[in-house]
Copies of this chain bind each other. A is one copy, B any other.
Amino acid sequence: VENNKVNPWEVKGKVDYEKLIKEFGVQKLDYEKVGSLFDESHVSLRRGFFYAHRDFDKWIEALKSNKPLAIVSGRGPSRQMHIGHIVVFHFAKWLQEKTGAFMYIPFSDDEKYLTKASDFKTIREYTINNLINILALDFDPKKTRIFIDTQEPIIYSLSILFSKHFNLNTIRSVFGADFKNIGWIFYPAVQVAHILLPQVLNGQTETLVPVAIDQDPYLRIARDIAPKYGFLKPRTILSKFFPSLEDPYGKMSSSGEKLISLDDDFNMIKKKMRKYAFSGGRPTIEEHRKLGGIPEIDVAFLYLYYFFEEDDEKIKEIEEKYRRGELLTKEIKDYASEKIWEFLKEFQERKEVIKENWEEYYYKYTLKEKEKEKILDFIYSN
């Protein structure tokens, strides 16, 4: 029985992260080998939220020898964004600050239109909504490009170039998805264009793609064809899914109210955490005090552990106290709510500033005319 499935468009059932490493043929991330390279590491990196990779070590080597670096990580804007969506961007921004890498953030509104039961009108609303969120993260516009596929369609010309290398059988076997229309079948070439864009613009560039593990198939096909253009194979660092409120092994949903939205206020967060967050605690306070909680399956704890509690001492203390039954589920949930709110409050404030003039902000990040010309020149010389 096929009880789980992970591809870019479907994450079904309980996710077995170890099994995915084998299935996808990626490497397990050894934190000691990579994390120690930075003076202080990112919380989600050292706590194993990023847990697998392809040649991340090569990217690190390139960093040490001052080679040109790039980071690509995009957003598929089909829904509102929740706290799980922000982690990879937060990490990417941290990486950019640490390394000086050039960052590319493509918005695949096309993918969402093609793969979801939504029209473009709806997708467009979410695109702008999601874009404002990304703008609020305050990437350095001198070193960051943000573009929306349908709005900066030069990316499609590049996709046409790459698409010739992929036949239907390859795409079917790599993605294992039921492609419902011809645009969807073509779309993997668009994502390859996103991933190879830094090298199209600047020649050989060590490109790192930090994404959730379900996106790995795109990396596989991009790596396959990179050498045909004299490019380095793009590297990736792969995260787990940010846990669903109701299931520590599931992926946080993007619809309904069982998620912590980036727009939620403190009361809403607290309410949702109390109501929905799967608990690693015991049925009664007495039992909990006696047997202790199980942090590994406690969603509130996992939120703190993977991202919201940066302090290593503090998280260790919480974990131990919870395990010993000294901390109750409700207490850990409320603490997580506070930490989430601490992050979101600041984020929402920046967002308020940007909201009114988002087009002005966005403009600073868009592809420049010269870059678009470079893309065309590249196409016509291949």
One of A55-63, A176-184, A327-335, A345-353 at the interface: A176-184
How many Å from the CB of A174 to the closest CB on chain B? 11
Total count of chain A residues near the partner, CB < 8 A: 40
- Cα–Cα, bound, A153→B182 (Å): 18
- A123 — nearest CB in chain B belongs to which residue? B380
For residue A121, CB closer than 8 A to chain B, the reply is yes
Q: Quick one: which of B149, B161, B166, B376 contacts A182, CB cutoff 8 A?
A: B166
One of A131-139, A185-193, A205-213 at the interface: A185-193
For residue A110, CB closer than 8 A to chain B, the reply is yes
Cβ-defined contact, B186 with A167, below 8 A? no
How does the 8 Å CB contact mask read for A78-120 relative to B, with 1 for contact and 0 for none? 0000000000000000000000000000000010011000011
Cβ-defined contact, B154 with A166, below 8 A? no
Cβ-defined contact, A379 with B185, below 8 A? no
How many Å from the CB of A310 to the closest CB on chain B? 39
- A181 — nearest CB in chain B belongs to which residue? B164
Q: Inside 8 A of A166's CB, which chain B residues have their CB?
A: 181-182
- Cα–Cα, bound, A153→B188 (Å): 18
For residue A291, CB closer than 8 A to chain B, the reply is no
Q: Quick one: which of B113, B119, B167 contacts A160, CB cutoff 8 A?
A: B113
Cβ-defined contact, B183 with A179, below 8 A? no
- Cα–Cα, bound, A37→B121 (Å): 43
Cβ-defined contact, B382 with A120, below 8 A? yes
Residues of A whose CB lies within 8 Å of any CB of B are 110, 113-114, 119-121, 124, 149-151, 153-157, 159-161, 163-168, 171, 179-186, 188-189, 376, 379-382
Known pairs A150-B379, A168-B179, A183-B189. 10 more at Cβ < 8 A? A113-B161, A113-B164, A114-B163, A114-B164, A120-B382, A150-B380, A163-B184, A164-B181, A168-B185, A182-B188
